[in-house]
Amino acid sequence: MPFGLLTGLGAALSWGTMDIASALASRRIGSLRVAAGVQLVSSALLVVAAIASGIAIPSEPGILTTCGLLGLIGAGAYFAYFTGLRIGPISVVSGMVAAYGGLTVVLAVLVRGESLTLTQATGAAIATIGVILTGVAFDGGLRATRFAGPGAFFAVVALVLFALMAITMDIALESADWLQVLLLSRLVTAAISIAAVVTVARAGRRTSDPGPAQDPVRWPRVGAMLVVAGSLDVTGLVAFAIGLSSAPTWMVGLASSFGPAVTILVAVALLGERLRPVQWLGLVGVAVGMVAIGLP
């Protein structure tokens, strides 16, 4: 199995599992708080890793600018994704966001000048169509075809930002070590997320509308979910960055997009969500596409 496909699938497994904990936490405390919590946990883990390995923060303006942009894109991507997961359904939102893999392939060819064999291009197309099918509902014919679920808009925003995130990270890795890139960008993402939480909290205190009554939040359980989600997120990021450092961007990005398929299967098995036949067909398409891109 190609190294880029292996690392991408490793990221997919981590991120796909992370989505369940993130979605459940988002429904208790809101997507913005979850995004900030995940960023804090992953940032702390990266700081510990940087100290243990003796990695210094680079001072070159170009690297700082690229990593800052990467952090900004990441903040928007995570917020959009977690919002989509919160208003759900999880299976639909995750399936739609997985289309970022196909967009990453296109951007890698257009922006990074990469190339694919005919078999790989066919596999990429099949996998992309598969993930799109998991997020489309067919109700009464072609004219009635629609993106399913209220989280569709946020899913589209997230998939575009995740694709841009992959390309920007690949550019940053040309000038800095993968741990440096992850540390700098994640610190920026965490700072933006925390600032957003504080801003929203202050705005909420100024309004006279108390909002709908909610059940008490069980913070120990939510905190555990955030720790699990943040740990899985940083594990996926490490696998993703290592893959980008030595393998084609399109392959790593496309393979990592298989993560929502993991989420879909867990959501069906553990949360009782149901998929339409066309969505199961989409999952098969993803699997077939992944096999094709791994062929020599």
pLDDT at 134: 66
Do you find a cis peptide bond into 2, omega within 30 degrees of 0?
no
CA atoms within 13 A on the CB side of 9: 13
Q: How far apart are CA 120 and CA 250, in angstroms?
A: 10
Helix (H, G, I), strand (E, B), or coil: what is residue 275? coil
Average pLDDT over residues 46-53: 93
Segment 60-70, tens digit of pLDDT: 888 999 999 99
Q: How far apart are CA 81 and CA 94, in angstroms?
A: 8
> Is it the case that residue 146 has pLDDT exceeding 60?
no
Tell me which of 199 and 171 has the higher pLDDT.
Answer: 171
> Confidence class of residue 47 from pLDDT cuts 50, 70 and 90?
very high
| Other CB atoms within 10 A of residue 140 CB | 7
> Is it the case that residue 127 has pLDDT exceeding 70?
yes
Segment 102-111, tens digit of pLDDT: 889 999 999 9
